[in-house]
Chain A
């Protein structure tokens, strides 16, 4: 009963480096989302996916790319990390709850860009 698992939990990068954040869910959910959380800003949607092989932009997509090659996995990539991307990143997957799509979140990846 892992739910939504995010890897890694912590990471420090230097400006210009690249990395990929992995999100895996074992609940067979169709929809998956990537958010970033910054102090005083709440959570903001970066990208989302409504099914295997499909992705779409959210509110703050610049500087990020995503892929959903398998239904259970949703990857978030930073091609050239910038200090402004220092944040806590949350992945979520969506299930149907009384006709509403409720989101189930992982515990986050804390990313620092120096």
Chain B
């Protein structure tokens, strides 16, 4: 059972356009929602993350929009550049913690979106 569903599987955008990737989750125990960027032959790298107590977080050209009631969140890449071409993964965390309440940080990933930005 896929707890985090991501769409679309692939996305083609022109340079300067807006890229939008969507994710939906089921487990209400999730309390941390990161996005990872992965280039070919490399491991995923943390791009931006949000907690459910805010509806939006912006870092440069990257914005996460979060809708807690709908259990959905999305990544918006403004002014998309060819260098943004990569695979993007949404993820969710929050299951399991130690006796002090610190999360184990286990991540449940979406299926991934291959973004291609044409020059």
Interface residues, chain A, with chain B CB atoms under 8 Å away: 4, 31, 33, 35, 40-45, 48, 50, 56, 58-59, 90, 92, 94, 97, 100-108
Contact = CB atoms under 8 A, between A and B. Distances in A.
Given A43-B89, A107-B42, A108-B43, A101 B112 contact: no
B17 interface: no
Interface of B: 4, 6, 9, 32, 34, 41-46, 49, 51, 89, 93, 98, 102-112
Given A33-B106, A50-B98, A106-B43, A100 B49 contact: yes
Contacts of A94: 105
Contact of B43 (A31, A48, A56, A107): A107
A-B residue pairs, 7 tightest by C-beta: A105-B43, A101-B105, A42-B109, A43-B109, A94-B105, A42-B111, A107-B43
Contact of B41 (A35, A50, A92, A107): A107
Given A33-B105, A90-B44, 19 more contacts: A33-B106, A33-B107, A40-B112, A42-B4, A42-B89, A42-B111, A42-B112, A45-B106, A45-B107, A45-B108, A48-B104, A48-B106, A97-B49, A100-B49, A100-B51, A102-B49, A103-B46, A106-B43, A107-B42
Given A40-B9, A42-B110, A103-B105, A90 B43 contact: yes
A43 B93 CA distance: 13
B44 A101 contact: no
B115 to A, nearest CB: 15
Nearest to B44: A105
B105 A31 contact: yes
Nearest to B32: A100
B46 A102 contact: yes
Nearest to A100: B32
A58 B44 contact: no
Nearest to B46: A102
Given A42-B6, A42-B112, A43-B89, A103 B107 contact: yes
